Amino acid sequence: MSVPRMTRRRFLRRAALPTIAASLGLGEPRLSAAAAAVASITVLPAQGPGAIPVALTVNGRVYELRIEPRVTLLDTLRERLALTGTKKGCDQGTCGACTVLVDGRRTNACLTLAVMVQGKAVTTIEGLADGNRLHPMQAAFIEHDGFQCGYCTPGQILSAVALLSEKRPTDEASVREWMSGNICRCGAYPNIVAAVRSVAGQNA
Amino acid sequence: MNAFRYAQAHDAASALATMASDPGAAYIAGGTNVVDLMKDDVVRPTLLVDITRLPMRGIDTLPDGGVRLGALATMSEVADHAAVAARFPAVAQSLLLSASPQLRNMATIGGNVMQRTRCAYFRDVSQACNKRVPGSGCAAISGVNRQHAVVGGSKQCICTHPSDLAVALLSADAIVHVRGRSGDRAIPIDRFHVLPGTTPQRETVLERGDLITAVELPATASARTSFYLKVRDRASYEFALVSVAASLDVRAGTVRAARLALGGVAPIPWRSHDGERALVGKPANAGTFAAAAQAATRGMRGYGQNDFKIALAQRAIVRALSQVGAPS
């Protein structure tokens, strides 16, 4: 019952905010050098809440977009860049389906604002293969049948790639612990662990 | 999520000034807590001040044996730092037992000690919560309170503080360095968080707009012999039901100094002075540890579903102390 009420309230606030911001002259991103020097000890220039220019580097390609500051990296990848390999599971940082690499570090894209990853290199599942040649971790997940429905798989694979680049221990218990940020509802864990360990050179 | 303006800070002074310019402004660093709460409409900042470009990410070893953690150092970076693991084992352990590898890559040290409770009523805007809406009541006291506090709560709030790190910081006598509009100050971690009392919306001694710049781990007699024990509903990636950070300085079989802190039992990371007093000057043995567990849990009271936490805390205290105080 509370859902429609909240939605309406949210809608009204969304509708009102740009008007308020515009009337106050906010959202101007550029300043002259002199003004910037003054601003360094005063108030920072702010952008938004409407769409603002955001440049993202994803899988080596630069995308120039206009998005609102509140848009997550996950929604940007899926809805704006059509990179739907990154999955939305819980959308609250508890399942890991949205795992991507940001400057090589595994990251929950659902809790990342796209505007904050400008200047960083984002790698998604689409950027892992070398042309038609699968990344060894992708091949290992196929080889070891490391999935059933496949929904968590892109996140699992990126997390596993990061686990190895972080040089974590690869005994079975350690792989389970260091993969614990990726939940699999099908329960394919034994095969996921086997896949990760095989790439680490430790065939299960 | 509400719409908001966004500003990127490159120096602390302008970040502070920007915070002061808008009563609805909030800082964002790792974002793992604030973005989540914004999605649920629990918090609705009008302006986010991105502090991730400020030069506060370094981890510096101090010549006296301490370590200074920049506020923007991530949980992963601190957990992986050799000097932290060697000099402050409980701190490194608490981080590795927190969240997931992904979240630890994102979340910062400053943000960690500022994180909000995981109380389901706080996070559901259709429920009564004095912390979220002062005066609206506390749905947890007569509700589903298995996760809730057994000490330190009030008629207004019985939430628990979710940070593992902050519990370990209590065992290390950590100091939170803060920059405010009137200058810098250093706040001992055991005076940083405040009990809910009649104002559960106030969680720390920070003034609005204050910026945590670093968390200092000073060299102490007992920090090197410290241990963090976390008890939870599943083996990994879960908040604590009860946790214990213990550090002991034992010489010739006698406890010379002790720090004993608990997580998952109170609205703040809970330092047990009573437990510490029951340890200092006593032989480091099972009898002393059991007495300390009794002293540390005296006066604890459950709300029905969380009664088990008291016995669980006692056993966890004994186990943590036995781990760290075992005769070598």
* Confidence (pLDDT) at B327: 57
Q: Which residues of chain B make contact with A113, given a CB cutoff of 8 A? A: 6, 28, 31, 35, 48
Q: Identify the helix (H) or strand (E) that includes residue B14.
A: helix B12-21
Query: Domain B226-325 maps to which CATH number in 3.30.390.50, 3.40.50.300, 3.30.1330.10, 3.10.129.10?
Result: 3.30.390.50
Q: Which residues of chain B make contact with A96, given a CB cutoff of 8 A? A: 100, 102
**Are B4 and A39 an interchain contact pair (Cβ–Cβ within 8 Å)?**
no
**Contact status, residue B279 vs residue B260, Cβ threshold 8 Å:** yes
Closest approach of chain B CAs to the CA of A182, in angstroms?
8
Residue B310 phi, psi (nearest 5): -70, -50
pLDDT in tens, B265-310: 999 999 999 999 999 999 999 999 999 999 999 999 999 999 999 9
Task: Give residue A56's pLDDT band: very low, low, confident or very high (50, 70, 90).
Answer: very high
Does residue A26 carry a pLDDT above 60?
no
Where helices occur in B22-153 by DSSP H, the ranges are 34-39, 75-79, 82-87, 89-96, 101-106, 109-114
Using CA atoms in the order B74, B80, B84, B86, what is the torsion angle rounded to 10 degrees? 170
Instruction: Give the predicted TM-score (pTM) of the model.
Output: 0.91
* Confidence (pLDDT) at A41: 67
Task: Give residue A127's pLDDT band: very low, low, confident or very high (50, 70, 90).
Answer: very high
**Contact status, residue B257 vs residue B279, Cβ threshold 8 Å:** no
3-state secondary structure of A130: strand
Task: Give residue B244's pLDDT band: very low, low, confident or very high (50, 70, 90).
Answer: very high
* Structural domain spans, chain A: 1-50, 136-199
Instruction: Say how far apart CA A135 and CA B110 lie, in whole Å.
Output: 37
Does residue B134 carry a pLDDT above 60?
yes
The single-letter code of the amino acid at B222 is S
Select the residue of A18, A113, A177 nearest B236 (Cβ to Cβ).
A177
**Are A113 and B126 an interchain contact pair (Cβ–Cβ within 8 Å)?**
no
β-strand pairing of B183-188 with B226-231: unpaired
Q: Which residues of chain A make contact with B47, given a CB cutoff of 8 A? A: 46
Closest approach of chain B CAs to the CA of A65, in angstroms?
16
Select the residue of B5, B101, B235 nearest A21 (Cβ to Cβ).
B5
pLDDT in tens, B138-159: 999 999 999 999 999 999 999 9
DSSP codes joined into one string, A65-110: EEE-TT-BHHHIIIIIS--TTS--SSSSSSS-TTEEEETTEEEEGG
Select the residue of B47, B99, B105 nearest A106 (Cβ to Cβ).
B105
Task: Give residue A33's pLDDT band: very low, low, confident or very high (50, 70, 90).
Answer: low
Does residue A24 carry a pLDDT above 90?
no
DSSP codes joined into one string, B234-257: SSSS---SEEEEEEEEEETTEEEE
Does residue A136 carry a pLDDT above 50?
yes
- Average pLDDT (A60-75) is 98
Q: Tell me what the pLDDT averaged over chain B comes to.
A: 97
> Is the alpha carbon torsion for A14, A20, A23, A27 positive or negative?
negative
Burial class of residue A122 (count of CB atoms within 10 Å of its CB; 0-12, 13-18, 19+): buried
Instruction: Say how far apart CA B244 and CA B259 lie, in whole Å.
Output: 10
**Are A48 and B50 an interchain contact pair (Cβ–Cβ within 8 Å)?**
no
Select the residue of A13, A45, A107 nearest B102 (Cβ to Cβ).
A107
- In angstroms, what CA-CA distances link B6 with A8, A66, A69? 24, 14, 6
- The residue among B2, B6, B98 with the most chain A CBs within 10 A of its CB, best to mutate, is B6
Task: Give residue B221's pLDDT band: very low, low, confident or very high (50, 70, 90).
Answer: confident
- Average pLDDT (A144-159) is 98
Q: Which residues of chain A make contact with B3, given a CB cutoff of 8 A? A: 13-14, 17-18, 48-50, 68, 70
Q: Which residue has the tokens 């370990």?
A: B168
**Contact status, residue B309 vs residue B218, Cβ threshold 8 Å:** no
Q: Identify the helix (H) or strand (E) that includes residue B231.
A: strand B226-231
DSSP codes joined into one string, B280-324: TTSBSSHHHHHHHHHHHHTT----STTTHHHHHHHHHHHHHHHHH
Tally of CB atoms within 10 A around B263: 32
**Are A108 and B106 an interchain contact pair (Cβ–Cβ within 8 Å)?**
yes
Select the residue of A13, A42, A43 nearest B2 (Cβ to Cβ).
A13
Q: Which residues of chain A make contact with B105, given a CB cutoff of 8 A? A: 105-107
Fold of the CATH domain A136-199? DNA polymerase; domain 1 (1.10.150)
CA atoms within 13 A on the CB side of B177: 14
Q: Which two tokens stand for residue A102?
A: 């940001």
Rounded to two decimals, the ipTM of the complex is 0.96
Burial class of residue A34 (count of CB atoms within 10 Å of its CB; 0-12, 13-18, 19+): exposed
* Structural domain spans, chain B: 5-50, 226-325
Fold of the CATH domain B5-50? 3.30.43
Closest approach of chain A CAs to the CA of B40, in angstroms?
9
Compare all CA atoms of chain B with the CA of A99 and give the residue at the minimum distance.
B102
Where helices occur in chain A by DSSP H, the ranges are 2-23, 33-39, 73-75, 136-143, 153-165, 172-178, 189-199
